[in-house]
Every structure is written in C-alpha cells, then in structure tokens.
Amino acid sequence: MKIICVGRNYTEHIEELNNSKPESPVLFLKPDTALVKGGEAFYYPDFSNQIDYECELVIKISKIGKSIPVSCAGNYYEEVALGLDLTCRDLQSKEKANALPWTLSKAFDYSAPISDFFSLKELGKDIQNIDFSLLKNGEVVQFANSSQMIFSVDEIISYISQFISLKVGDLIFTGTPAGVGSVKIGDKLVGVLEGKEILKCEIK
C-alpha cells in the first residue's frame, strides 16, 4: 500500500501560500508509517516548530490499474475518507528554498491521520460534489466542496497511473483547500464530511 498526495489542487490555497498554479498535478508520497487511524492522538515531534494541518478528501483504489483513461478512472474507487496532511512548514520552507524534495516535511511518522472510509454509493454523492470541513477547537477553519478542485479525482488517477501503477488499497490524498494553519499541543481537530463528524485528532 502506498499513499500518494496531491499538492496545490485548490486555487485559494495556492494563493494563501503564494505558490504558482500547476499545469499538472503536483505529487508526493507518504509511507504507511505516516498513517494514524481510529482517532489516535498526534504527538508533536521535537524536530519542528510549526506543524500545519491540511484537511483533504482521500480515496482508496479498489482495483489494479495502469495508464487509466480519465473516462475510465471512476471505476477504480468506491470509497472516500477524510485525512490530514500534517506538514512541518518550517522544514518545508527550507526544502523549498534549497529546491529539495518535501520528504522530511511531509512524510514523517504519523503525518497522515485518517478517518474510516465511506461508500460513495451509500453517501449518494458524486465524488466531485462533496462538502467537507475541518474544525479546530470547535471553530471552522477549512471548508470546501470537491467541485473546487483544479484537477478532478478522475484526472488525478489517470495522471498518476501514467507513471505509477495503482494497486488495491492505495490511498490518494486529493489536496487541501484554503484555511491551513498551525496546531499546538492541546488543539483538537475534527473533520466533517457532508455534515457528519468522521475524523478526530488531538494534538499532544
């Protein structure tokens, strides 16, 4: 199982970080040691002074695929979850300044808390019309609809599969909307999908 993440997939988020709009999906990877399941706490690491939250829709690949056409990509997933791409922003700033990969700032242990998965069929929702949000200490800090993505889920799957074969169980974090910010010890994050609280993460 691999975790493939998409960066810069919402225009307002690109603007808030003063980044440029990509011509194709920006991709990076996280190892399976990044996953945090079942509402377990996130323990603030000692190698960063600024951890940012980034709430994202996550899809799970349901069958093996390679070089998948956009028109067929919808056949390769059935479930959706919410995930947090926790980012060491201070380390990432140094990586960017030196034109280095984002590995240390994005792929560290426990950097990807994730909710349970929910069937799109049971939700009765199209993947490109899903509301999701993130609350920090009870206050909404991120809210978006997946229709606001620059690259749709099907376009992302098709693009990834040109370079990397997709296998059953692979996870794709599809990008975060505007509103990212830092966390501190004691903060409580709650992810909401279509009005239902499905992801909880306490910072310790």
pLDDT by residue, tens only, the chain of 204 residues: 999 999 999 988 888 877 888 999 999 999 999 999 988 999 999 999 999 999 999 999 999 999 999 999 999 999 999 999 999 999 999 999 999 999 999 999 999 999 999 999 999 999 999 999 999 999 999 999 999 999 999 999 999 999 999 999 999 999 999 999 999 999 999 999 999 999 999 999
Long-range contacts of 138-141 (CB under 8 A, 24+ apart): 138/188, 138/190, 141/53, 141/179, 141/181
The enclosing domain of 13 has a CATH number of 3.90.850.10
Tally the domains of the chain.
1
Confidence (pTM): 0.96
Domain around 168? 3-202
Q: What is the largest CA-CA distance in the chain?
A: 46
